[in-house]
Amino acid sequence: MVLQSINNAAQVNGTWQGTGVTLNAASVQVDPGSSINADGQGYVGQAGLGGGQNGNSTGGSYGGAGGGLPASTIYGSATAPTDLGSGGGEYGGTGGNGAAPSG
């Protein structure tokens, strides 16, 4: 099963409104060798409230500053994430995607 975030590439009505996935189940079995992974399901490169900037290699922020300077806007909680993580800056290539919250 593959579930993906939505609205992770651009603003919706002038604001960042990315949405992750909620899986409601009475029980979940994760087989050996399998995983639940939200890596790369956040905002795409340079997108999101704390997105890295074009022309430098700053990391996207969420719950703390992304790596590099200048620092991206910090938003959200590091211990109780509810929003998508911002994408990294682009410098000589495409910025990496942020992560989606998992709980």
pLDDT band at 14; cut points 50, 70, 90: very high
Q: What is the residue-wise DSSP string for 43-96? A: PPTT-STTPPPBTS-PPP-SSSPPSSSSPPPP-S-SSS--SPPPPPPBSSSPPP
**Cα pseudo-dihedral 2, 65, 79, 84, rounded to 10:** -30
* Residues 47-51, mean pLDDT to the nearest whole number: 85
pLDDT in tens, 32-42: 999 888 888 88
